[in-house]
Structure 1
Amino acid sequence: MSNIHLPIILATLMFSFLFLGEARDFYKSIPRETLNLKKEKLSHLHFYFHDIASGPNPTAMRVSSSAITNTSSSFFGAVVIIDDPLTMGPELSSKQVGRAQGMYAGASLSEVSFLMVLNYVFTRGKFNGSAISILGRNPVSSDVREMPIVGGSGRFRFARGYAQARTHAVDFKTGDAVVEYNVYVFHY
């Protein structure tokens, strides 16, 4: 192909993309009412997260680790999959309102800080069947940790907000922990 034909080919391609509407075919604006989106609300949820690593029925299971995880004071490289109960009170026997399902990973070389990737899946009340998605950093030794809400499903579709975690109790021998959560979520 000669150099004379190259500008003609490029011009033809640009012209066809501009006038054929290729870039506009994958989206369209829709009114809120189409998705039954009414006025946005702010809800405060309060519950306890039971991370059980010991006993015959653990709800948190380490599935992977790095070469230095077992010698690291920060659990760097550990990956834990969870299906933890969420309860109304700090006792495991209190009324269960949902499950925390997902994973966390040791993501710091210098402190115990986890990357949290999980859903709070609710199984009771008006949020039964709905979930809130969390993705964020959890520096465990801080009194209060804040993690962003990045979305949700069901009644939490289009959710945004944050979750605050406070350690209520921890057993350093077993690794079991109870964490209090205050969640502030905008949703429709």
Structure 2
Amino acid sequence: MARGILLAWIVIHSIAITSVHCRYYSQSKPYEPVKLQKTQLHFFLHDTLSGNKPTAVMVASANATGKPNDPTPFGTTFAIDDPLTEGPEITSKVIGNAQGLYLSSSQDKNLTLVMYVDLGFTRGKFKGSSLSVFSRNPVTEGNREMAVVGGRGKFRFARGFIKVKTNYLNITNGDAVLEYKVTVVHPHP
């Protein structure tokens, strides 16, 4: 028994004093300005909470908020996979999807969401690229603006904004069609 304890102590002690041979790697270079371009996009987002195949589903909610028939009470979080289309009709050509979360963040009568969404493009010039949105969305305002905080692919390092306008809203079930007019600045590919 004593030999086992001694052996364990030697192994642990050996491990503790053995030096680790690794280095932190860092490389810095002077910043060289890059040529930027401005891109404007126009499309529609279809957010469907109702029916057999919703594109937005509730994943969390607070126990004591909201009215009985309120589709988005305060504290409610939705996961989304909403289609992006060229026109306001759901039958329009699909150009991508909006995937992420939105949270009902207002306690008053004016519905406000906080959006954490990736707008991914699956067709056209920007296929394989996406824009990252992290912003407040005051739904009851006619024209509103959300921030684009980044992107990937052709939109790497993108910054900009989205002008959002509600094209259609069913206040009973929460289904909506939103018009997005995007302006972003990003490095020229």
TM-score over 0.5 for the pair: yes
Is 1:69 aligned to residue 65 of structure 2? Answer: yes
Change (3 A) 1:27 1:148: farther
Is 1:123 aligned to residue 122 of structure 2? Answer: yes
Per-residue deviation at 1:68? 2.5
Letter aligned with residue 151 of structure 2: G
| Partner residue in 2 for 1:29 | 29
Gaps of 5+ in 2: 1-22
| Partner residue in 2 for 1:46 | 42
Per-residue deviation at 1:26? 3.2
Between the aligned partners of 2:83 and 2:169, the Cα distance in structure 1 is 16
Identify the range of structure 1 (61-70 vs 136-145) with the bigger mean alpha-carbon deviation.
61-70
In terms of fraction of residues, the more helix-rich structure is 1
Tell me the secondary structure at the aligned position of residue 154 of structure 2: helix
| Partner residue in 1 for 2:149 | 150
Q: Segments of 4+ in structure 1 off by > 2 A?
A: 24-27, 68-74
Give aligned pairs, total.
162
Letter aligned with residue 68 of structure 1: A
TM-score (norm 2): 0.80
Is 1:182 aligned to residue 178 of structure 2? Answer: no
Query: Aligned-residue CA RMSD in angstroms?
Result: 2.1
Tell me the secondary structure at the aligned position of residue 125 of structure 2: helix
Between the aligned partners of 1:173 and 1:180, the Cα distance in structure 2 is 20
Between the aligned partners of 1:30 and 1:125, the Cα distance in structure 2 is 35
CA contact (8 A) 1:53 1:176 kept: yes
Per-residue deviation at 1:30? 5.5
Tell me the secondary structure at the aligned position of residue 69 of structure 1: coil
Between the aligned partners of 2:37 and 2:89, the Cα distance in structure 1 is 30
Between the aligned partners of 1:124 and 1:31, the Cα distance in structure 2 is 33
Give % identity.
43
Between the aligned partners of 1:58 and 1:187, the Cα distance in structure 2 is 33
| Partner residue in 2 for 1:108 | 106
Gaps of 5+ in 1: 1-21
Is 1:59 aligned to residue 55 of structure 2? Answer: yes
> 1:42-73 CA deviation, whole Å, 9 max, x = no partner?
01100000001111111000111012334386
- 1:95 paired residue among 83, 90, 93: 93
| Partner residue in 1 for 2:79 | 81
TM-score (norm 1): 0.80
